[in-house]
Structure 1
Amino acid sequence: MAWRDAKASRVRLFLFMASIILGIAAVVSIQLFSNNLKDNIKLQSKALMGADYTIDTRQEPTERAQTIIDSLQPDAKEINFVSMIAFPKNGGTKLVKVRGLDGAFPFYGTIDTEPSSAADAYQDLGGALVDATLMLQFDVKPGDSIKVGAITLPILGSLKAIPGSTAISTSVAPPIIMPYALMEATGLIQFGSRKEYQFFYKTAETFDLEAFEKIIDPQLKKEEADLDTHTSTSERLGKRYDNVGKFLNLAAFIALLLGCIGIASSVHIYIKEKLSAIAVLKCMGASRMQSFLIFLIQIAGIGIVGGLIGALVGIGIQELFPYLLKDFLPFSVEISISAQPILIGVFLGLFMSVLFALLPLLRTWYVSPLEVLRVDEKGAQEPFKVRVAVIAAVLIFLFLFSFWLLGDALYALGFMLATLIAFAVLTGVALLFIKGIKTYFPKRWGFAARQSLLNLFRPNNQTVVLVVAIGLGTCLISTLYFTKDILLAKTEVGQSSSNANIIILDVQSDQQDTVEARIKAKGLPVVNSIPIVTMRIHKIKGRLANDLRQDSTKQMRNWILNHEFRSTYRDAMIDSEELLEGEWTSHTTPNAPILVSIADNLVEDGIDIGDNITFNVQGVLMETTVGSIRKVDWRQLQPNFNFVFPVGALEQAPQFRVISTNAADEASSAALQRDLVAEFPNVSIIDLRQVYTIVEDILDKVSWVINFMAFFSIITGIIVLIGSVRTSKYQRIKESVLLRTLGAKNAQILKISALEYLFLGLLGSLVGILLALISSLCLALLVFNEPFAPSMIPFLVILPGITVLVMAIGLSNIRSVLSSSPLAVLRKEA
């Protein structure tokens, strides 16, 4: 009976099935890709690092650290720093990461170059490997030269890839590889320059890296060095991409929920139309269980087939993820297919379709044979306790599935509550809209407009489910654009001279006057000239930093005790700072304690106003007292500091400068950079315009992925809409034929339907955009702490686009309605 009835309703049941296929496809594709990603990270963990383990330090190794490093006999080593380089061929300059390598690094994986022989020859020939994108940008080829500091090297090849690098990580400072032996000759390794020393090691397969790390790493940390193994690095990388997978899984889960809600709504109408047939079956002796199983088997079959088709579609879709995420991955992902996600897809299809269709299915259980004579809206209602039990089962499933995806009960509960709130808001708005139409019905409107509004709350309408489906998909996409604008708010470079858009780093004290003179000679302003003094903490609250490092009961983080702080002195706070406690001290007072201001992030380590801190300022001990606490906005692209000294405290200390200026256009910026790099090869220049462009490009790539996931929700909503149109098709034919019998013309019927779907599309997309607006406003104020200026794209593009799409789908079914003969319907009624 289930099979026969399904054959008669195959088109409608196929649309039920389509509602969950996309959601299952999204979940399966992401699960498969996540599994492939984890497997690839494990298989390629050595190739990702290029070695079995590394030791790195952001300063020249201490005597004890160097002893440990030498005793382990490194197989390769590297010095790297960020600096400006120049291309003599065309005078171009660029901020790059210079990597000086010595030894046969990498031991695993390869340095991919063009020509391939350059990777093996650059150390012997004394040449450079230059990032391939950079070579295209500046139109240089192998055989041209590159100027790094005081030396000029031949370019031996273009660098396409090196272990551990990604397209995103190399965007701001593309890599340049050169021989380690030539690094000193560049003249760029000097006081104040930010450099990193790395030592690479290769071990036997049987070597116990985990036990080795537990012994050596603590010893190195005391010397401000760090040991990383290929296993610990791959674990961190795995956790990072695991979070991406969790986000994508949640987005796919939302699409699946939309499909299930579409099934619940469609099955509700489908079963309602079958109640009279069920009553007849019961009159003929069918039991409750038989009538219930007829439709349960149909829905279960839909779930199994839909889950299987969704799983197969998901296998195909997962091939897209390596392409979508290639810029974020430091390796290429080898795709393979495992059985677990496919079985999960089939199980989800079966379980969720039955679970969400259970409430309307239970109506078949309570149909009375008497209802063969009359079937009304309130007939065959399931008991209240049964309804509560089913709803509780749905909520428990939502929590358990979220917990399985996230691995954290609190996050799972938060996601479930956020999802319920979103659904509740969209449902509430739809119900209020319907109630508002009923209460304030526009009686003076034309016939077609009034009839279209009446259709929104006619029997078997699906206004609520369509508003939820369309609204949630629209909300996902709109939130992307709104939050993207928040993130890009700081990338707006003002045209006034008070806003710096070029930052010049590592200017030595004897170069300051000349650099400032060169800037002014170009007709540009010197916006800031900030002194930088490097120092370490020697003593806090009377306790030596060395003693605190050994104290396992201390509340203070190790980085404070180990860090080489870059501090400054000035007489006033800047825009990114706000005084929280204490009094700001602008100048030192003779024979009085030096009062420093600390950033608020140090308070959690127990440092407070009145505490004494002794700094080691390059060999000279300086005693200070904390006088104030500042709230610092570290996200702003300008120099910010943990410690700020008053004027008169550090002027005599060895220091260098950070100078900022404002260039009105790219031509003047390029001219300034070219001249400064030619005269002062040690300085590094950051053009904030380029940084902002890179930030926007990264956000565009992220938006691609989010848009891709929102696509599932939108398409699911459209399928639910198609299902709703098909479900109410015969009722609409009857209504339209009766209208035509009463004298209505085809144009009027077409207008009624067009207006109805216009209202539905407008309501769903508008509510989704408004919900996104509210959530983005909360993000701006509570998370990003930024003023909110919403994008107009959702209002100008998404709102009309989705509305037109909804209208097109709704009107696609009208042709059969208009072509139906009134006489045929009247005969059927007779």
Structure 2
Amino acid sequence: MAWRDSKASGGRLLLFTASIILGIAAVVSIQSFSENLEENIALQSKTLMGADFVIDSNQPPNEKVKAIIDSLGGADGRSVGFPSMAVFPKNGDAKLVGVRGIEGEYPFYGELETKPTDAAQNYQKSGSALVDATLMLQYGLSVGDSIKLGNSMFPIQGTLISAPGTSGIGASIAPPVIIPYEAVEGTGLIQMGSRVGYDFYFVAEPEQDLQELEDIVDPQLDVENADLDTHMSTAAQLGRSYDNFGKFLNLMAFIALLLGCVGVASSVHIHIREKLRSVAVLKCIGATRKQTFLIYLLQVAGMGLVGGVLGIFGGLILQQSFPLLLQGFLPFEVEISLVPQALFSGLILGIMLAVLFALMPLLNTWFVSPLQVLRVDNTKNPKSRKLQLWVVLAIIVFVFAFSFWLLGNVKYALYFVLGIIVVFALLGGVATLFMRAIKRFFPTSWGFTSRQSLLNLYRPNNQTSVLILAIGVGTFLISTLYFTKDILLSQVSLDTSENTPNLVLMDVQSEEKLEAATSIEASGLKVLNNIPIITMRMHQIKDRPVRELILDTTALQNRWVLFHEFRVTYRDTLIASEQTVEGTWPLERKDNGLIPISLSENVAADAKVKLGDTLVFNVQGVLMETQVAHLRSLDWARMQINFNILFPSGILEEAPQFHVLTTNAPDANKSASLQRELVRKFPSVSIIDLRQLFTVIEGILSKIAWVINFMAFFSILTGVIVLIGSVRNSKYQRIKENVLLRTLGAKSKQILRITALEYFYLGLLGGGIGIVLSLLGSLLLAQFVFETSFSPSIIPFVVVLPSIILLVLLIGMLNSKSVLQSPPLEVLRKEAG
């Protein structure tokens, strides 16, 4: 019977199946791609690192570290890396690059991909450089040209297309340049304050247990401020980074699926209402309520199965596009393969969610007697209402369970479910309030077409709530994306005032600072900051030495504090990005000989210290006893030079130090000319143009936004399908109304305007509510999560909202075309039948 009845209602059932296909396709594609990504990271982990394991440090290895390296058979290769300015003699331009000096046959897995291909084998012998492909293109360089690094000139042997460890945001800001290891010293670029990384690469024996090696050797290296990473641990860390983004996309796909299920519930509701007479006849001839209920439940389950299968095929096709979508984020090529777990979960999701959401309208038939159904009594039975509450609870539990399966965290899954409930409830509540407000405050003074279009919003089978929900959720997702992107960009945006630095000179040595400042002033610019920096490490926290804390696995201090080389300055005033939390600054030195210092909140929390506690610092071999006298909060999002640790004046002036100078260049040309001049005079100085940095950050956020927009599109598209389904499902009701209106004298032009206004109201109401909710949500995010001011983007108001309204209007009018053209005789024949 379910099969026979579905053949008669095939078009309608296929429409509600289409509501969930997109959601299933999105979930399956993302889950499959995430699994493929994890597998590829595991398979290519050696290629990503270029070795089996690496020992790295940000300082030259001491005797203990050298002894450990020798005990492992000696390094098979090594490299030293640091940021520096590069000058291109061909055109005189200068650019911050990531210099990497390599010795040996590294990489041992994978390859340095260059053009020409033999450049990777010849650059060390010829003392040449491999230069990043984007950098070559940007500055019009070609093989055979030269690049100057510090005091040395290198011919460009080849274009560097890819290399292990040269991807990510760092490579976008400072593109990689590879030179021979032995040539690094001649550049003169490694000086006091230089941010240098030393890496020693190893190829493991076939039978060597890398996990055991890491467990034994890494703790010994930690004490010496070095670290050991295996290709497996690096792959796991990389996998976690992409896994978090995948979970987020999965949730967006799940929202699209839930939206489609709302459309399923709406379609089944109308479908069952029109089948009540058939149910009555079946009951009159002896069918039990269980049998009649199962007939339509089987229909829904069957359509859920079909939707799941079609969604799986759609997901497999969609999955092929993800390597292209995420091309800017992945450091390797991903091989796509079938993931049975994702396919199975997509099938189960299709059936379970279709059945769960369809149970709400299906339960209306369970407690209805044949006589009531024949009279088409629409009053709800209290027992039916009680069961529907249980169904709602089952839906919430299922959504929570699936969210927990995706996120692996009870708290996050709970927040997600609560967020979904709040957004859906607000959208549904506003729709209900709007319809009630129309009934109560009906604009009787309006014209006929305007009044009739409003009346259509609460006609029988109107589906206003469902449509507003579908339109609103899609708009909410896209608008929230734009608003959140604005919050992130506002935190790193540059102040355009002339007293705000946008050019930063790093690693200026003490003997160079006066001449560097003079050069800046000679170009007509002001030196805004001349900040001394001293490097030091924590030697003792309260009464416990740091070495002891490193070996104590029960120590509560965050381990980064124990290993970190702090860059510290001294001054007696606070800057705009700093706020006092506790204490006063500066403080006079006390008779106990302890030096008062100021800590940032995060360092104090991670070091487990408070006001009055003591810290001993190792300042390049000299131990200095200090006392925490002041705590500060720092706004790290501002493009300003902040320090975790602050000393008062009169203490560190004679300590070995380097300087940071800042200025404000009014335009890009002035900035470029000043950089060329400074690099010519001071080859070891690194210069950061904050405008270029901001452009890189904005580009990265735009790429992420594009991917998320792509996923949000599924919600919008699902909403469109729900809209099409709602119009099709209430087609007969609309035909009947149009016939009555024509009978009363309405013209086709008036009916067209009534229909257009109805969909305009729906688009405006759904889109408007979605934008307002996203505005409120983003305001809360800015205030409580990002702790910053919020200036909303105008794009959702001038682009997203009009686009949503036009889309709803277009879909509604196209689907209503046959309704507008239906002759009155069609309705009369149906009534007679």
Asked whether the two chains share a fold, i.e. TM above 0.5, the reply is yes
Aligned-pair CA distance for 1:7:
1.8
Aligned-pair CA distance for 1:372:
5.1
Q: Identify the range of structure 1 (177-186 vs 165-174) with the bigger mean alpha-carbon deviation.
A: 165-174
Aligned-pair CA distance for 1:565:
1.3
Q: Which residue of 2 aligns with 1:144?
A: 145
Q: Is the 8 A contact 2:276 2:374 kept in 1?
A: no
Task: Tell me, yes or no, if structure 1 residue 63 matches structure 2 residue 59.
Answer: no
Q: Which residue of 2 aligns with 1:224?
A: 225
Aligned-pair CA distance for 1:168:
3.7
Q: Is the 8 A contact 1:280 1:372 kept in 2?
A: no
Q: Secondary structure at the match of 2:506?
A: strand
Q: Which residue of 1 aligns with 2:35?
A: 35
Report the Cα distance in structure 2 between the residues aligned to 1:477 and 1:153, rounded to whole angstroms.
49
Report the Cα distance in structure 2 between the residues aligned to 1:586 and 1:502, rounded to whole angstroms.
32
Q: Which residue of 2 aligns with 1:18?
A: 18
Q: Secondary structure at the match of 2:171?
A: coil
The alpha-carbon distance between structure 1 residues 644 and 380, as it changes in their structure 2 partners (threshold 3 A), is: closer
Q: Which residue of 2 aligns with 1:46?
A: 46
Q: Is the 8 A contact 2:29 2:319 kept in 1?
A: yes
Q: Indicate the percent of aligned positions where both proteins have the same amino acid.
A: 58
Q: Secondary structure at the match of 1:638?
A: coil
Q: Is the 8 A contact 2:526 2:664 kept in 1?
A: yes
Aligned-pair CA distance for 1:576:
1.2
The alpha-carbon distance between structure 1 residues 366 and 550, as it changes in their structure 2 partners (threshold 3 A), is: closer
Q: Is the 8 A contact 2:113 2:160 kept in 1?
A: yes
- The residue type equivalent to 1:420 in the other structure is I
- The residue type equivalent to 2:645 in the other structure is F
Deviations 1:163-218 (A, max 9, x none): 23325441011100000000000001111111010000001222100111111000
Q: Secondary structure at the match of 2:575?
A: coil
Q: Which residue of 2 aligns with 1:781?
A: 783
Report the Cα distance in structure 2 between the residues aligned to 1:713 and 1:130, rounded to whole angstroms.
43
Report the Cα distance in structure 1 between the residues aligned to 2:496 and 2:380, rounded to whole angstroms.
70
Aligned-pair CA distance for 1:794:
0.1
Q: RMSD in angstroms over aligned alpha carbons?
A: 1.5
- The residue type equivalent to 2:55 in the other structure is I
Task: Tell me, yes or no, if structure 1 residue 433 matches structure 2 residue 434.
Answer: yes
Task: Tell me, yes or no, if structure 1 residue 483 matches structure 2 residue 523.
Answer: no
Q: Which residue of 2 aligns with 1:327?
A: 328
Task: Tell me, yes or no, if structure 1 residue 342 matches structure 2 residue 343.
Answer: yes
Q: Which residue of 2 aligns with 1:727?
A: 729
Q: Which residue of 2 aligns with 1:8?
A: 8
Deviations 1:499-546 (A, max 9, x none): 110000000111111111110111111111110011222333244333
The alpha-carbon distance between structure 1 residues 389 and 490, as it changes in their structure 2 partners (threshold 3 A), is: closer
Q: Which residue of 2 aligns with 1:812?
A: 814
Q: Which residue of 1 aligns with 2:766?
A: 764
Q: Which residue of 1 aligns with 2:548?
A: 547
Q: Is the 8 A contact 1:76 1:103 kept in 2?
A: yes
Task: Tell me, yes or no, if structure 1 residue 125 matches structure 2 residue 126.
Answer: yes
Q: Secondary structure at the match of 2:458?
A: coil
Q: Secondary structure at the match of 2:739?
A: helix
- The residue type equivalent to 2:506 in the other structure is L
- 1:340-419 equivalent positions in 2, closer than 5 A: 340-371=341-372, 373-378=374-379, 383-419=384-420
Deviations 1:44-74 (A, max 9, x none): 1111111000000001112211221233210
Which of 821, 824, 828 is equivalent to 2:823? 821
Report the Cα distance in structure 1 between the residues aligned to 2:250 and 2:592, rounded to whole angstroms.
63
- The residue type equivalent to 2:758 in the other structure is E
Q: Which residue of 2 aligns with 1:711?
A: 713
- The residue type equivalent to 1:633 in the other structure is D
- The residue type equivalent to 1:343 in the other structure is F
Q: Which residue of 2 aligns with 1:162?
A: 163
Q: Which residue of 2 aligns with 1:254?
A: 255
Q: Is the 8 A contact 1:503 1:659 kept in 2?
A: yes
Q: Secondary structure at the match of 1:621?
A: strand
Report the Cα distance in structure 2 between the residues aligned to 1:463 and 1:670, rounded to whole angstroms.
59
Q: Secondary structure at the match of 1:488?
A: helix
- The residue type equivalent to 1:401 in the other structure is F
Q: Identify the range of structure 1 (365-374 vs 641-650) with the bigger mean alpha-carbon deviation.
A: 365-374
Aligned-pair CA distance for 1:675:
0.5
Q: Which residue of 1 aligns with 2:187?
A: 186
Q: Which residue of 2 aligns with 1:294?
A: 295
Q: Identify the range of structure 1 (599-608 vs 26-35) with the bigger mean alpha-carbon deviation.
A: 599-608
Report the Cα distance in structure 2 between the residues aligned to 1:638 and 1:372, rounded to whole angstroms.
73
Report the Cα distance in structure 2 between the residues aligned to 1:47 and 1:303, rounded to whole angstroms.
43
Aligned-pair CA distance for 1:421:
1.0
Report the Cα distance in structure 1 between the residues aligned to 2:545 and 2:287, rounded to whole angstroms.
87
Deviations 1:117-145 (A, max 9, x none): 00011111100000000000000001000
- The residue type equivalent to 1:443 in the other structure is T
Q: Is the 8 A contact 1:570 1:586 kept in 2?
A: no
Report the Cα distance in structure 2 between the residues aligned to 1:561 and 1:813, rounded to whole angstroms.
67
Q: Which residue of 1 aligns with 2:285?
A: 284
Aligned-pair CA distance for 1:406:
1.1
Report the Cα distance in structure 1 between the residues aligned to 2:539 and 2:405, rounded to whole angstroms.
47
- 1:530-679 equivalent positions in 2, closer than 5 A: 530-585=531-586, 593-604=594-605, 605-679=607-681
Deviations 1:305-358 (A, max 9, x none): 111001000000001111111221111100111322222222211111111101
- The residue type equivalent to 2:664 in the other structure is N
Q: Is the 8 A contact 1:476 1:710 kept in 2?
A: yes
Q: Could you tell me the TM-score, scaled by structure 1's length? A: 0.98
- The residue type equivalent to 1:452 in the other structure is S
Report the Cα distance in structure 2 between the residues aligned to 1:414 and 1:622, rounded to whole angstroms.
47
Aligned-pair CA distance for 1:380:
6.5
Q: Which residue of 1 aligns with 2:802?
A: 800
Report the Cα distance in structure 2 between the residues aligned to 1:233 and 1:563, rounded to whole angstroms.
20
- The residue type equivalent to 1:416 in the other structure is V
The alpha-carbon distance between structure 1 residues 730 and 589, as it changes in their structure 2 partners (threshold 3 A), is: same
Report the Cα distance in structure 1 between the residues aligned to 2:346 and 2:590, rounded to whole angstroms.
72
The alpha-carbon distance between structure 1 residues 714 and 205, as it changes in their structure 2 partners (threshold 3 A), is: same
Aligned-pair CA distance for 1:588:
5.9
Aligned-pair CA distance for 1:609:
1.4
Deviations 1:58-116 (A, max 9, x none): 01112211221233210000010011010000011110110000001011111100000
Q: Is the 8 A contact 1:275 1:367 kept in 2?
A: no
Q: Is the 8 A contact 1:363 1:381 kept in 2?
A: no
Q: Is the 8 A contact 1:362 1:382 kept in 2?
A: no
- 1:265-280 equivalent positions in 2, closer than 5 A: 265-280=266-281
The alpha-carbon distance between structure 1 residues 474 and 435, as it changes in their structure 2 partners (threshold 3 A), is: same
Q: Is the 8 A contact 1:588 1:648 kept in 2?
A: no
- The residue type equivalent to 1:427 in the other structure is G
- The residue type equivalent to 1:613 in the other structure is L
Report the Cα distance in structure 2 between the residues aligned to 1:527 and 1:545, rounded to whole angstroms.
37
The alpha-carbon distance between structure 1 residues 612 and 819, as it changes in their structure 2 partners (threshold 3 A), is: closer
- The residue type equivalent to 1:67 in the other structure is A
- The residue type equivalent to 2:650 in the other structure is G
Report the Cα distance in structure 1 between the residues aligned to 2:829 and 2:360, rounded to whole angstroms.
35
The alpha-carbon distance between structure 1 residues 44 and 523, as it changes in their structure 2 partners (threshold 3 A), is: same
Q: Which residue of 1 aligns with 2:111?
A: 110
Q: Is the 8 A contact 1:367 1:379 kept in 2?
A: no
Report the Cα distance in structure 1 between the residues aligned to 2:298 and 2:736, rounded to whole angstroms.
30
The alpha-carbon distance between structure 1 residues 168 and 618, as it changes in their structure 2 partners (threshold 3 A), is: closer
Aligned-pair CA distance for 1:33:
0.4
Report the Cα distance in structure 2 between the residues aligned to 1:356 and 1:644, rounded to whole angstroms.
60
- The residue type equivalent to 1:19 in the other structure is S
Aligned-pair CA distance for 1:427:
0.8
Aligned-pair CA distance for 1:562:
2.6
Aligned-pair CA distance for 1:764:
0.4
Q: Is the 8 A contact 2:219 2:551 kept in 1?
A: no
The alpha-carbon distance between structure 1 residues 286 and 380, as it changes in their structure 2 partners (threshold 3 A), is: farther
Q: Secondary structure at the match of 2:452?
A: helix
Aligned-pair CA distance for 1:550:
3.7
Deviations 1:257-297 (A, max 9, x none): 00111101110111011111210221122222332222122
